[in-house]
């Protein structure tokens, strides 16, 4: 077909442009245009694909003003079967250099099969399905010289992983994109976008029962874990997830005081199999029931103290002996009343909050006069002491809190009346959370009864804790300490 360039319509006689067979008017009257348009008639009207191309100006009225116009250049190439006439923005009139022309184009659609390991998607693939088939990795360059609004489909049908890389601009905001499924490629004139499976939705990467659909920089498969493993978040993993067999490092236990369910004070569960005399303790160990009662009392795990970790204040003849599961004390008559002996723990108390816990048992009958046993808080210097004691006298046991100016000088006494001791072991506890200092008693080490509630720092600032004892009877008194523990928390 001829190239049409300039048609000068400044009179009623159309001018024939170079290379065109004829320029004709079409309308009511070619010599006096009324409702007419000019068109170019090809020289070979019977050639396959020849068309009439309108110049694009319509006049009207008895005396229209017809101006010079520029026609769109028309390709001289004849079409192939099923070609369509399309506007080619990149084409140009070879005579005038004017950009854009009409040209015959291959019909949109069809398959553009690629089998190499290095491919380039160009204008020739517009509107087509580009298949990528290779067993090895495929590097695909996207030619950013294509026109704006370019669109084609792409499908990696081979086993090789395909990576899309624009010659300029980005794809989905990145320099490259791993292609793992079919989809559409679209070019804006600056950047590329992939819409479809494998990199944003559509085709699933899952292959096996139990696989998980996850994401890192692209859609990804997390293979199913082995039996017994659990799914756990882990930012160090590519997908942020992993399968793992749980161990104690993966569990975080909150330390609470309700029912004494804490990491440092556990109860016991009956062992389901194994030695009939053992129990499974809350701390995960097996062993015999602590304490007496023929297994009737289950205590927390006991920590027997060692005398080398303590030191005497006002010993006056008291002795201590280490045994495998306890310290045993022998306390002679004091001679005067009061006359307390202190066996102080060598380590300095932690700053608040802190807790001190001990468990005792005694080995004599309750007789006239009295014995005392309990916990004491002691300052860094001076002779003050702050005691919580079991007071055993005259056939009964009571509880009291005593503030002492010295081992032989009482400052103040607070008695807890109508108190009845039960159980084989007597548990004592002092806690201080920085606001309140409290003294407690328990028969089993689990359920505690509050005895004294004082302000933190009452009477003295404690530096050490220990065991307090006295004997104002005619007999030698023997008792044992089965448990001693100091915590830098409230238990």
Q: Residue 133: which CATH number? A: 2.60.120.640
Residues 324 and 461 both lie in one domain = yes
Does residue 225 register a pLDDT over 90? Answer: no
| Residues 100/92, Cβ–Cβ less than 8 Å | yes
Mean pLDDT over each residue of the chain, to the nearest integer: 73
What is the structure's pLDDT at 265? 44
Residues 316 and 349 both lie in one domain = yes
What is the structure's pLDDT at 309? 94
Residues 46 and 138 both lie in one domain = no
Two tokens, residue 376: 């004491």
What is the per-residue pLDDT across 154-197, written as a single tens digit (0 to 9) for each? 999 888 889 999 999 999 888 999 887 889 999 999 999 998 86
Between 325 and 92, the higher pLDDT residue: 325
- Residue at 126 is within a domain: yes
Residues 68 and 189 both lie in one domain = no
- Residue at 186 is within a domain: yes
| Residues 356/465, Cβ–Cβ less than 8 Å | yes
Per-residue pLDDT, averaged over 19-39, amounts to: 46
Per-residue pLDDT, averaged over 111-125, amounts to: 93
Q: Which of 147, 169, 196 is the last residue of a domain?
A: 196
Strands 219-222 and 341-345, how do they pair? unpaired
What is the structure's pLDDT at 307? 94
What is the structure's pLDDT at 165? 96
Q: pTM score, two decimals? A: 0.43
| Least trusted range by pLDDT, from 43-52, 95-104, 381-390 | 43-52
- Residue at 246 is within a domain: no
Q: Which of 100, 128, 147 is the last residue of a domain?
A: 100
Strands 36-41 and 310-313, how do they pair? unpaired
Per-residue pLDDT, averaged over 478-485, amounts to: 90
Query: pLDDT-based confidence at 298, cuts 50/70/90?
Result: low
- CA 168, 174, 177, 182 torsion: positive or negative? negative
Between 323 and 97, the higher pLDDT residue: 323
What is the per-residue pLDDT across 437-464, written as a single tens digit (0 to 9) for each? 999 988 888 888 888 899 998 899 999 9
- Residue at 392 is within a domain: yes
What is the structure's pLDDT at 352? 92
Task: In whole angstroms, give the CA distance from residue 413 to residue 358.
Answer: 22
Which residues, including other chains, have CB under 8 Å from residue 318's CB and lie 6 or more apart?
312, 329, 330, 331, 332, 341, 343, 469
- Residue at 373 is within a domain: yes
Q: What is the CATH number of the domain that holds 473?
A: 2.60.120.200
Does residue 294 register a pLDDT over 80? Answer: no
What is the per-residue pLDDT across 79-106, written as a single tens digit (0 to 9) for each? 665 566 666 555 555 555 555 566 666 6
Residues 94 and 131 both lie in one domain = no
Between 316 and 363, the higher pLDDT residue: 316
- Residue at 258 is within a domain: no
Task: In whole angstroms, give the CA distance from residue 70 to residue 98.
Answer: 10
Highest mean pLDDT among 53-67, 107-121, 241-255, 429-443: 429-443
**Count of alpha carbons within 13 angstroms of residue 491, beta-carbon side:** 22
Residues 24 and 134 both lie in one domain = no
What is the per-residue pLDDT across 359-375, written as a single tens digit (0 to 9) for each? 988 655 555 567 788 89
Does residue 203 register a pLDDT over 70? Answer: no
What is the per-residue pLDDT across 254-288, written as a single tens digit (0 to 9) for each? 444 444 444 444 444 443 444 555 555 555 555 55
| Residues 83/103, Cβ–Cβ less than 8 Å | no
Does residue 292 register a pLDDT over 80? Answer: no
Residues 413 and 394 both lie in one domain = yes
Which residues, including other chains, have CB under 8 Å from residue 269's CB and lie 6 or more apart?
279, 280, 281, 282
Distances in Å between the Cα of 329 and the Cα atoms of 307, 374, 398, 407 are 10, 13, 21, 18
Q: Long-range pairs for 236-241 at CB < 8 Å and ≥24 separation?
A: 239/214, 239/215, 240/214, 240/216, 241/212, 241/214
33 burial type by CB count under 10 A (0-12 exposed, 13-18 middle, 19+ buried): buried
Strand partners, 371: 392, 471
- Residue at 252 is within a domain: no
Does residue 214 register a pLDDT over 60? Answer: yes
Query: pLDDT-based confidence at 417, cuts 50/70/90?
Result: low
Phi first, then psi: what are they for 125, rounded to 5°?
-95, 5
307 burial type by CB count under 10 A (0-12 exposed, 13-18 middle, 19+ buried): middle
Residues 175 and 118 both lie in one domain = yes
What is the per-residue pLDDT across 329-348, written as a single tens digit (0 to 9) for each? 988 877 677 888 899 999 99
Does residue 200 register a pLDDT over 80? Answer: no
Instruction: Tell me which residue range forms the domain holding 398.
Output: 307-487
Give the number of domains in the chain. Answer: 3
Q: Which of 196, 214, 242 is the last residue of a domain?
A: 196
Residues 71 and 92 both lie in one domain = yes
Query: pLDDT-based confidence at 202, cuts 50/70/90?
Result: very low
286 burial type by CB count under 10 A (0-12 exposed, 13-18 middle, 19+ buried): exposed
- Residue at 262 is within a domain: no
Residues 185 and 58 both lie in one domain = no
Which residues, including other chains, have CB under 8 Å from residue 441's CB and lie 6 or more apart?
390, 399, 426, 427, 428, 429, 448, 449, 451
What is the structure's pLDDT at 153? 93
Residues 81 and 156 both lie in one domain = no
Residues 36 and 138 both lie in one domain = no
Distances in Å between the Cα of 240 and the Cα atoms of 222, 236, 237, 247, 249 are 10, 7, 5, 20, 19
Query: pLDDT-based confidence at 113, cuts 50/70/90?
Result: very high
User: Radius of gyration of the chain from Cα atoms?
Assistant: 49
| Least trusted range by pLDDT, from 146-150, 396-400, 443-447 | 396-400
Percent of the chain, pLDDT > 90?
A: 27
Does residue 108 register a pLDDT over 90? Answer: no
What is the structure's pLDDT at 477? 80
């Amino acid at each position: 077909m001829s190239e049409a360039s300039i048609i000068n319509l400044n009179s009623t006689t159309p001018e024939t442009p170079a290379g065109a067979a004829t320029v004709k008017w079409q309308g009511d009257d070619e010599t006096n245009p009324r409702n007419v348009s000019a068109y170019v008639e090809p020289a070979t009207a019977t050639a396959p694909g020849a068309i009439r191309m309108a110049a694009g100006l319509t006049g009207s009225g008895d005396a229209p003003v017809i101006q010079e116009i520029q026609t769109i250049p028309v390709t001289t190439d004849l079409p192939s079967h099923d070609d369509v006439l399309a506007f080619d923005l990149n084409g140009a009139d070879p005579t005038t250099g004017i950009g854009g022309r009409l040209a015959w184009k291959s019909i949109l659609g069809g398959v553009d099969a690629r089998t190499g390991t290095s491919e380039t998607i160009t204008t020739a693939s517009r509107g087509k399905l580009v298949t990528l088939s290779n067993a090895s990795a495929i590097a695909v360059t996207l030619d950013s010289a294509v026109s704006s609004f370019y669109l084609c489909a792409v499908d990696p049908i081979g086993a090789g992983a395909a990576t899309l890389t624009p010659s300029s601009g980005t794809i989905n905001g990145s320099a490259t994109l791993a292609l793992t499924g079919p989809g559409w490629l679209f070019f804006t004139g600056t950047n590329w976008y992939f819409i479809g499976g494998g990199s944003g939705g559509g085709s699933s990467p899952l292959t096996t029962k139990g696989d998980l659909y996850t994401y890192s920089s692209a859609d990804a498969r997390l293979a199913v874990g082995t039996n017994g493993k659990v799914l756990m978040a882990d930012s160090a993993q590519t997908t942020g997830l992993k399968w793992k067999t749980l161990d104690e490092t993966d569990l975080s236990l909150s330390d609470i005081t309700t029912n004494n369910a804490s990491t440092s004070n556990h109860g016991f569960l009956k062992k389901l199999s194994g030695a009939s005399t053992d129990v499974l303790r809350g701390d995960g160990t097996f062993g015999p029931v602590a304490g007496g009662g023929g297994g009737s009392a289950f205590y927390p795990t006991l920590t027997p103290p060692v005398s080398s970790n303590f030191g005497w204040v006002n010993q006056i003849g008291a002795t201590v002996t280490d045994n495998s599961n306890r310290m045993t004390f022998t306390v002679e008559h004091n001679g005067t009343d009061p006359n307390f002996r202190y066996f102080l723990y060598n380590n300095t108390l932690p700053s608040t909050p802190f807790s001190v816990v001990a468990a005792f048992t005694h080995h004599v009958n309750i007789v006239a006069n009295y014995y005392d046993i309990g916990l004491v808080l002691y300052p860094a210097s001076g002779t003050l002491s702050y005691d919580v004691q079991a007071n055993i006298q005259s056939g009964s046991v009571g509880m009291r809190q005593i503030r002492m100016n010295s081992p032989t000088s009482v400052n103040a006494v607070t008695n807890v009346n109508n108190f009845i001791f039960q159980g084989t072991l007597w548990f004592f506890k002092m806690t201080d959370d920085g606001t309140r200092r409290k003294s407690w008693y328990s028969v089993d080490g689990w359920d505690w009864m509050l005895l004294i509630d004082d302000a933190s720092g009452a009477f003295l600032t404690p530096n050490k804790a220990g065991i307090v004892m006295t004997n104002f009877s005619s007999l030698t008194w023997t008792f044992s300490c089965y448990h001693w523990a100091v915590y830098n928390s409230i238990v």
